[in-house]
Structure 1
Amino acid sequence: MMQNDIASARRALYDDMLDLHLTPLWESLHSLVPKHPSPGYDAALWRFEDIAPLLARAGTLISAEEAVRRVLVLENPALPGSSSITHSLYAGLQLILPDEVAPAHRHTQSALRFIVQGKGAYTAVDGERTTMHPGDFILTPSWAWHDHGNPGVDGLAEPVVWLDGLDIPMTRFLSGGFAENGEAASQGVARPEGRSLAAYGFNMAPVRQLHSRASSPIFNYPYVRSREALETLRRQEEVDAWVGVKLRYINPLTGGAPMPTIGACMQLLPAGFAGLPHRSTDGTVYSVVEGSGSATIGGKRFAFAPRDTFVVPSWATLVLEAPQDVVLFSFSDRPVLEALGMLREEFLLK
């Protein structure tokens, strides 16, 4: 057949396929099974100094009751309208003002809170409250009742802001989203504050009444303890040339990630750190806890400051630099990739 005849015959074949909801794999095989990840979303950075005034304005215009959760979603520039920071993760900055309550609800989406600014607020999870401090990493597991309040501390109350991280896009892809509102704004307190940490946070666990959820029984990992661990290791061990001093949060009962779908880490980059490039298949969201520095992501440099947020796409090369001490919190979809045997990392020399 002549080339024109072949092209015409192919078009006719494809048109006939459409009536039966069929498509030819050979036309899309290379994009469906690429040689390396092509995430389809961008590296990006959100400056807290730009976002804070907008959060404050939202606080004057939208009540906590009206908003349910007063959050500015960090939407990836390449994914407009998706409420997603990566294809599998959601991130947003939430504000709660003094004397407000974000009412109790629960949902199948797993969530984390990383406290960015302010103190005096609390999160309650399944009947236990924990007071929030900057740098604390707090879990609200799938289908766990949770609410937030801001009564202040020692007679003083101030606005509190935290970074929300959820597996909303993942849950949406699996069509597994359910939610339920509580009957009261605040759930009843059934256990004293600190009970979960006391029971599970000291390399011990109760002999009876073990935690039955897939997530960690610890739902507040205090920053003061994380920071102390990083500082001790910085003094005692050689600093990793790619990531500095980096620790992952774990479920103490399993040694795995705190939640089945979201992993989290804290790392310290000592002053003068000039990291080597590395990359991984987990898309990762970073929150800057202390210090200023830069992240070069896929060849594009982003200068960051405390409380900024940035995202590193899957398989994008990351180089971190810190002229002063820098502490970074991060979360990603790593547990899912590990469970599926799809996690891949490379630590490059240049």
Structure 2
Amino acid sequence: MTKLERPDAPLIAALEKARIHPLWDRYQRITPMAPKAVDEPMHWRWGDIAPFTARAAKEVGIEDVERRALILANPAFGGATVTTQNLIGAFTVLEPGDRAVPHRHTAAAIRFATRAEGAVTIVNGRRCEMHEGDLVLTPPMCWHGHINEGKRRTVWFDAANMPAICNLDVSFFEPGKRQDERFWEVGTEGSGEYRFAWQDAVRGLAPAPDGSLTYRYTKDGRSVMPTLDLFLKRVGKTRQARSTCSAVCLVVSGEGRSKVGERAFEWSQHDVFTIPHWTWASHEGNGDLFMVTDRAIYERLELLREEIR
């Protein structure tokens, strides 16, 4: 029976004209049986990204932009700057001597050092050096800026929850001043609040239910920030798992293969791929994956559901 053939069709038409919707003819649309991600899993190869980092370094002056960053965009979001639901992943490029102007915002963000030796991130007056594999947090509304004090170009992986913040329409942004030399004249005391050394994460790896060795970056036993939950996963062969949260995965080292939904990815160092929410994923190989997730949001809202098979 079509909508026009229904005995209540005139009533539905009158309701819609009055900007009122009847529940009875659209109940399943309002309350789906299960989550269904709008985005397919995506895979970006470092070999394809690297030439663009070189071009950006040469063609975009750091003094002309807020950040020289390349954001990984999933076409499923209709041209929006989104990597997967609630999250973006990116690579930031600095030439020797470059300074990325200080600023702060309500989005939570992280930096993971890939090719970043010589780079430093200043967070709330703490100097956080970025050695290979180190993680640096920039929590909401913390002043932060970046500098390359080395002799070579630096590149690191960024992730943030700008899409979640913008969807809630609670984004605030405050620019800093390029000429403020005092911002950069700080020491490392207290940097442990924002910097997690690679060696500490590796030492913390422990067996996880999916068959991997996993380390969860935590503060006081909870996620490192109220809206971002971060993991290091050393994979051999894992079981399939899915969750109501989404993930952006950086290949820290090694090579392997991931099956995400109906897609399979052959990955190597510094590739990035996504795991959309409520999508089965498994991994096989010999490598380390750094995973940025929005799990903390769902955990705090008591909407987290996780399954393994």
Q: In the alignment, does 2:252 pair up with 1:257?
A: no
Cα distance in structure 2, aligned partners of 1:20 and 1:70: 49
TM-score normalized with structure 1 length: 0.82
- Shift in CA distance, 75/26, structure 1 to aligned 2, threshold 3 Å: farther
Task: Note if contact 2:248-2:273 (Cα within 8 Å) is conserved in structure 1.
Answer: yes
Q: Relative to structure 1, is the Cα distance of residues 80 and 6 closer, same or farther in structure 2, using a 3 angstrom cutoff?
A: closer
1:315 to 274, 278, 291: 278
* 1:27 partner SS: coil
Q: Is the 8 A contact 1:72 1:94 kept in 2?
A: yes
User: 1:10 Cα deviation (Å)?
Assistant: 4.5
- Calculate percent identity across the aligned residue pairs: 31
2:246 corresponding residue in structure 1: 283
Q: Match of 1:162, SS?
A: strand
Q: How far apart are 1:134 and its partner, in Å?
A: 2.1
Unaligned 5+ runs, structure 1: 198-217, 234-238
Q: Distance in 1 between matches of 2:78 and 2:227?
A: 23
- Within a 5 Å distance, the mapping from 1:149-164 to structure 2 comes to 149-152=147-150, 157-164=151-158
- The count of aligned residue pairs is 308
Asked if the contact 2:110–2:138 (Cα under 8 Å) also holds between the matched residues in 1, the reply is: yes
Cα distance in 2, alignment partners of residues 139 and 41 from structure 1:
27
Letter in 2 for 1:123: T
Equivalent AA in structure 2 for residue 260 of structure 1: P
Question: Residues 289 and 4 of structure 1: is their aligned pair in 2 closer, same or farther, counting only changes over 3 Å?
Answer: closer
Is residue 196 from structure 1 mapped to residue 205 from structure 2 by the alignment? no
Partner of 2:100: 102
Question: Which residue pairs with 1:245 in the alignment?
Answer: 213
**8 Å CA contact retained: 1:126, 1:146:** yes
Offset of residue 241 of structure 1: 6.2
Selected match of 1:303 from 256, 266, 277: 266
Q: Tell me by how many angstroms 1:190 deviates.
A: 6.8
After superposition, what is the alpha-carbon deviation per residue over 1:270-306, rounded to whole angstroms, capped at 9, x for unaligned? xxx2222111111111101110001101132101100
CA distance in 1 between counterparts of 2:38 and 2:2 reads 35
Higher strand share: 2
Cα offsets for 1:90-141 (capped at 9, x unmatched): 2211111111111011111111111221310110011111111221111111
Shift in Å, 1:12: 3.8
Pick from 143, 146, 153: which aligns with 1:145? Answer: 143
Segments of structure 2 that go 5 or more residues without pairing to the other structure are none
Superposition deviation, residue 44 in structure 1: 0.8
Distance 1:100 1:134, change over 3 A: same
Q: 1:11 to 1:116 in 2, by over 3 A?
A: farther
Matches within 5 A, 1:36-185: 36-152=34-150, 157-185=151-179
Give the aligned partner of residue 18 of structure 1: 16
- Kept in 2, the 8 Å contact 1:102–1:185? The answer is no
- TM-score of the pair, normalised by structure 2: 0.93
The verdict on how the C-alpha distance between 1:298 and 1:95 changes in structure 2, with shifts beyond 3 A counting, is same
Sort the Cα spacing of 1:27 and 1:93 in 2 relative to 1 into closer, same or farther, 3 A.
farther
1:30-75: CA deviation from partner (whole Å, max 9, x where unpaired):
2332222101111111101101101111111111122211111111
1:23, CA displacement in angstroms?
2.4
Distance 1:19 1:307, change over 3 A: same
SS in 2 for 1:336: helix
Does the 8 Å contact 1:286/1:311 carry over to 2? yes
- 8 Å CA contact 1:136–1:223 kept in 2: the answer is yes
SS across alignment from 2:121: strand
RMSD: 2.0
